Structure 1
């Protein structure tokens, strides 16, 4: 058997393992999301904020943004409920790889390359509530800007858990035309500091 064929077989086997592993994460997160309408509400907000930004009159921008108050509170509450529900999962089931690519079952063989997705969801829940409650006393447009970034970062984390860090980066760029670094710079200081501690721990373990 030549080397090229052996390498091809290894690549195929690796891909199969990755897909199987990723399906377990997708199913786990999907099971917890099933009781919420979180994705629909997040889409309503991100699209609504974009629409408000394109309104020519500032008064009209503010009017549009004010219509999302209830949806914002709902999203914050549902993200908190999601974070609470995920605490019931084991650390092994809720592991997330720190490398840019998928390493199937790293939590079993390379635990130093994984982190806890449950902790990350808690960071998102606290950060979203911080911005929704406007604890930094932002004006309505800046508040919407920061809240958009909070939602983008949450989406990134969910894609990271389901697929990989690299896939999450790509989806963020394709869907929202923004980089992970830019989103991180745009969230609240509360979210950013907690996230960087979590990320730093992931990189240093």
Structure 2
């Protein structure tokens, strides 16, 4: 029985090395597609701008801040569509994402999965839909919907690179928002398409 502990340590080390290698490969793959774009910078500008605008007591000042953000919003819509088109050219085996909450070795060989390429298409459509909904919602509701769409897209990217559990923990820590809250806050069409793609059994 003395060999069991060294064996367990060796297995754990092997799993950690394998996980680190896979995660680095996925981060590098996604970064290679994101590098031509300013998506992350625009997300930060837009979300911080919404907080500033909605904190303004003066309606005219609020509208002025929101107007300035229109260019960033249009850039996000355009660049997300281009990113989804770019990622569509990736190897299908490299863009599969396990629906299991945690990373497991060889999970993609036996666990349900979804395709990052299709997920990014869902997010691109949702983000543009929310941005273009000028007359369908109040400025506050519109900003809330766009922010939810953007954060849910970021969650999917972290899920692809790490795992669902890590992506959800990061979203909770940074934005005090759960994965379930994000899925509930996006536009109904996005939510239907998204949950149809990533849901495991009846769970989001």
- After superposition, give the CA deviation of every residue in 1:43-90 in whole Å (9 maximum; x if it has no partner): 111111122222233443332222111100100111111100011012
Q: Which residue of 2 aligns with 1:198?
A: 197
- After superposition, give the CA deviation of every residue in 1:115-169 in whole Å (9 maximum; x if it has no partner): 1110100000111111111177112221011000001101100000111101100
What TM-score, normalized by structure 2, do the two folds share?
0.92
Q: Which residue of 2 aligns with 1:62?
A: 63
**4+ long deviations beyond 6 Å:** none
Question: Structure 2: which 5+ residue stretches go unaligned?
Answer: none
RMSD over aligned Cα, in angstroms?
1.7
For 2:59 and 2:104, the matched residues in 1 are separated by: 48
Higher relative contact order (CA 8 A, sep 6+): 1
Q: Which residue of 1 aligns with 2:161?
A: 162
Q: Which residue of 2 aligns with 1:38?
A: 39
For 2:162 and 2:59, the matched residues in 1 are separated by: 40
Q: Which residue of 2 aligns with 1:174?
A: 173
Q: Which residue of 2 aligns with 1:86?
A: 87
User: Number of residue pairs matched?
Assistant: 201
SS of residue paired to 1:92 = helix
For 2:197 and 2:135, the matched residues in 1 are separated by: 23
Contact kept? 1:65, 1:144, Cα under 8 Å: no
Contact kept? 2:87, 2:117, Cα under 8 Å: yes
For 2:104 and 2:76, the matched residues in 1 are separated by: 31
For 1:63 and 1:183, the matched residues in 2 are separated by: 27
What TM-score, normalized by structure 1, do the two folds share?
0.92
Contact kept? 2:113, 2:198, Cα under 8 Å: no
For 1:66 and 1:17, the matched residues in 2 are separated by: 48
Residues 1:120 and 2:119 aligned together: yes
For 2:93 and 2:17, the matched residues in 1 are separated by: 20
Contact kept? 1:21, 1:105, Cα under 8 Å: no
For 1:4 and 1:136, the matched residues in 2 are separated by: 64
Q: Which residue of 2 aligns with 1:5?
A: 6
For 1:58 and 1:136, the matched residues in 2 are separated by: 17
Question: Structure 1: which 5+ residue stretches go unaligned?
Answer: none
Residues 1:53 and 2:54 aligned together: yes
For 2:53 and 2:7, the matched residues in 1 are separated by: 55
